[in-house]
């Protein structure tokens, strides 16, 4: 079976990458949390603590109403970004999710602000959350890469990603987060190729 084509009975694990705590909530590094929070709003549920997995989760369905919808688990690791792999791998095993049905939603430095790129597999490009996930379960999971652009001037990357979005960026942030959530829904319900053609800009 083509791993980019969702199997109808397998659940999906949609992971927003970020850091827990209110001080990080609006950081560029936390855009993955923002996207899964919006997906949770659309599903109409609240996150709850996931036992020993050190994550917050919400189970629901994406797509058509009723049993035709895809079963999904939304997740926000509560372990800090560079240790995301442990909680994600534990959730993958607990919910019996194939690696190819794991989706990491994360910030991406090498893409302009607001631009999306969806792909399956690949390297981590220096992203500590992806690095941890790949170490825990291999690289063959989907990524929804949300562009945040490069730091201005001589600002260090670590300082840049842990700063809040600038006021000019915030004017469009809701629109871009909404579009990223749409792309996740398209990926889960219609497959990678359709989602790439619709959202890779």
Catalytic residue check, 29 = yes
Edge-to-edge strands of the sheet including 48-49? 48-49, 55-62, 70-77, 12-16, 102-108, 142-147, 116-120
DSSP sequence for 20-36: -SGGGTTBGGGHHHHHH
29, 106, 127, 142: which is the annotated catalytic residue?
29
Cα-based torsion angle of the residue sequence 157, 79, 97, 148 in order, rounded to the nearest 10 degrees = -20
Label residue 100 left, alpha or beta by phi (over 0 means left) and psi (-120 to 50 means alpha): alpha
Task: Answer yes or no: are the C-beta atoms of 107 and 32 closer than 8 Å.
Answer: yes
Helices 192-199, 167-190: inter-axial angle, 10-degree rounding:
150
**Residues contacting residue 105 through CB under 8 Å, at least 6 positions apart:** 14, 15, 16, 17, 31, 32, 35, 36, 143, 144, 146, 180, 184
| Both structure tokens of 172 | 């469009």
Supply the residues annotated as catalytic. 29
């Amino acid at each position: 079976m083509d791993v980019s084509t969702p199997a109808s009975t397998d659940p999906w694990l949609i992971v927003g990458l970020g850091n827990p705590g209110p001080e990080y909530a609006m950081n560029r590094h936390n855009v993955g949390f923002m996207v899964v929070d919006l997906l949770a709003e659309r599903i109409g549920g609240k996150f709850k603590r996931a036992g020993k997995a050190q994550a917050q989760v919400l189970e629901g369905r994406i797509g058509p109403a009723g049993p035709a919808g895809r079963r999904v688990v939304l997740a926000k690791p509560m372990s800090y970004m560079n240790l995301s792999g442990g909680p994600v791998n534990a959730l993958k095993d607990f919910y019996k999710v194939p690696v190819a049905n794991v989706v990491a939603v994360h910030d991406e430095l090498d893409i302009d602000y607001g631009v999306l790129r969806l792909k399956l597999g690949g390297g981590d490009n220096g992203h500590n959350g992806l690095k941890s996930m790949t170490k825990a379960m291999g690289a063959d999971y989907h990524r929804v890469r949300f562009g945040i652009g490069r730091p201005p001037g001589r600002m260090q990357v670590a300082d840049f990603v842990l700063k809040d979005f600038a006021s000019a960026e915030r004017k469009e942030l809701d629109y871009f987060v909404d579009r990223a959530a749409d792309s996740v829904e398209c990926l889960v319900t219609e497959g990678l190729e359709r989602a790439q053609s619709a959202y890779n800009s």
